[in-house]
Amino acid sequence: MSADGGIPAALPAAAAPPGDPALDTLDRLAAERATGALHGRGGALYLADGVVVHAESHAVPDVGCRLTVGGRLPAECWEEAVARGGPGHGAGRFLVEHGRLTAGELELCHLSALFDAAYFVLCPLDRTQRGPQRFLREARHWFGPVRPVPVPLLRRETARRARLLERAWPRPEVDTSPVVPVAGRAARETAARGRGAVLAAADGQRTPLQIACTLGRSAFTTLLDVRRLAAAGLVRTPERGAPAAPAPPRPGTAAAPDITLLYRIRDALEAL
Amino acid sequence: MTGIDGCLADAMTVPGARGASLVDWTSGLALGAVGTWPDGDPEGAAAEAAELARTAFENFAPAAPAAPAPAGAPVEELVVTARDSYHLIRFVETSFDSSVFVHLWLDRTEANLAMALFRLRDVTARLVPA
């Protein structure tokens, strides 16, 4: 595919303003064919020989959440892959080698999680936060490489996603507020499958990203659905001055083993 | 060869195949593309096919059902008959969250539509078993 091609003139250069230091850093690391992890407040991008092999963000359901919440894998299967495949940086490969997933399923699920996390790493929801800047050389992710993504493709896709959100409903405040269904109207919604699930999970307390984690669903897709529902007048942000609801625990991530955190700490220490 | 590359290579063995791609229809991202594409632009073709797929998926979905909806995607395939080619789009169903389809572009004089549809079902079933 033409993944290595330059950025076509028809597309905006990037989601972030031109000269975004994080994107400059990413381009430089790609040109250097660098290996390591580019960390920011929103999460991290992992590179191997200058291509992106993994991305993680606390805002986004990870591969384990996606596979277990929908019932594709029992939690024990996922934990086994992390525990046995993780030390050799090959948890993903373990799932295929042991017949838990087909290679196609692994690639689809991993790419979906990678592009999803990368969006929130490069475009943090909190606009005051900067993009990722800190690069830990030689850091590798325990999931292991699956299907590497060239940096120019990732940048184009991130820009396209920002544009889609803007076009759906240009009010970013719905991204971070609890999603409140509009009484009376929401019940009549005949939204397409995914959007209907998002609407059903909107309880006036969960934010779009908490809904994504509850459903084991792409955070970007959920955000896009919430913006479209807001544009259609089916959901709104809470009344101004209303007491803030306590944030519910993030379901779906509760089962994630602490071992993933340990791997992250180890990877970071090794990179020092 | 298995996975996305294997799936696309399989699709290219369908008689009359010009190009095959795997596309995420939420954003129009081509996760993989092989063969030739209009204007030599697989990413542009993917974005346009995604628009079509999204429209079909969202508008032909059953209205909010009173009873639980039957399992499976509301739309399985799209066939576009162009003057000199066919565009086949087959949605890939997964038991985890995803929104992808395989797009096969065929030369109309060389392709057999019924056979191509049959083969495409086989190709996607090997990517993600039903």
For domain B4-57+74-127, say whether CATH 3.30.450.30 is its number.
yes
Report the candidate in B17, B85, B15, B26 with the shortest Cα–Cα distance to residue A198.
B26
Looking at chain B, the whole-number percentage of residues with pLDDT higher than 70 is: 89
Nearest residue, CB atoms, A105 vs list B69, B99, B128: B128
Determine contact: A161 vs chain B, CB below 8 A. Answer: yes
Q: Give every CB contact of residue A179 below 8 A, 6+ residues apart in sequence.
A: A198, A202, A204, A206, A207, A208, A211, A226, A229, A235
Question: What is the pLDDT averaged over residues A204-233?
Answer: 94
Query: A65, exposed or middle or buried, with CB in 10 Å at 0-12, 13-18, 19+?
Result: buried
pTM: 0.86
User: Does the structure show a pLDDT above 50 at A246?
Assistant: no
**Chain A residue closest in CA terms to B60:** A192
Determine contact: A201 vs chain B, CB below 8 A. Answer: no
Q: C-alpha angle with apex A142: A140 to A147, nearest 5 degrees?
A: 80
Nearest residue, CB atoms, B74 vs list A112, A193, A215: A193
**Chain B residue closest in CA terms to A147:** B4
pLDDT at residue number A253 = 46
Query: CA of B65, closest CA in chain A: separation in Å?
Result: 8
Q: How many CB atoms lie within 10 A of CB B73?
A: 14
The encoded tokens of residue B83 equal 């003057």
Query: CA of A135, closest CA in chain B: separation in Å?
Result: 27
Task: Give the max Cα distance, chain B.
Answer: 46
pLDDT per residue over B90-121, tens digit each?
999 999 999 999 999 999 999 999 999 999 99
Report the candidate in A3, A20, A112, A11 with the shortest Cα–Cα distance to residue A67.
A112
Average pLDDT over chain B, rounded to whole?
Answer: 91
pLDDT at residue number A83 = 96
pLDDT band at A1 (very low <50, low <70, confident <90, very high): very low
CA distance B85 to B83: 6
pLDDT at residue number A272 = 62
Distance, C-alpha A204 to centroid of its chain: 23
Contact A2 B42 (CB under 8 A): yes
pLDDT band at A4 (very low <50, low <70, confident <90, very high): very low
**Chain B residue closest in CA terms to A221:** B26
pLDDT per residue over A155-175, tens digit each?
999 999 999 999 999 999 999
Query: CA of B96, closest CA in chain A: separation in Å?
Result: 5
The encoded tokens of residue A198 equal 């998002």
Give the residue extent of every domain in chain B: 4-57+74-127
**Chain A residue closest in CA terms to B47:** A160
Question: What is the pLDDT averaged over residues A42-53?
Answer: 96
Helix (H) or strand (E) holding B109: none
CA distance A263 to A272: 14
CA distance A232 to A269: 48
CA distance B71 to B90: 17
pLDDT at residue number A9 = 37
pLDDT band at A15 (very low <50, low <70, confident <90, very high): very low
Q: What is the DSSP code (8-state) at residue A149?
A: B
User: Does the structure show a pLDDT above 60 at A220?
Assistant: yes
Contact A190 B64 (CB under 8 A): yes
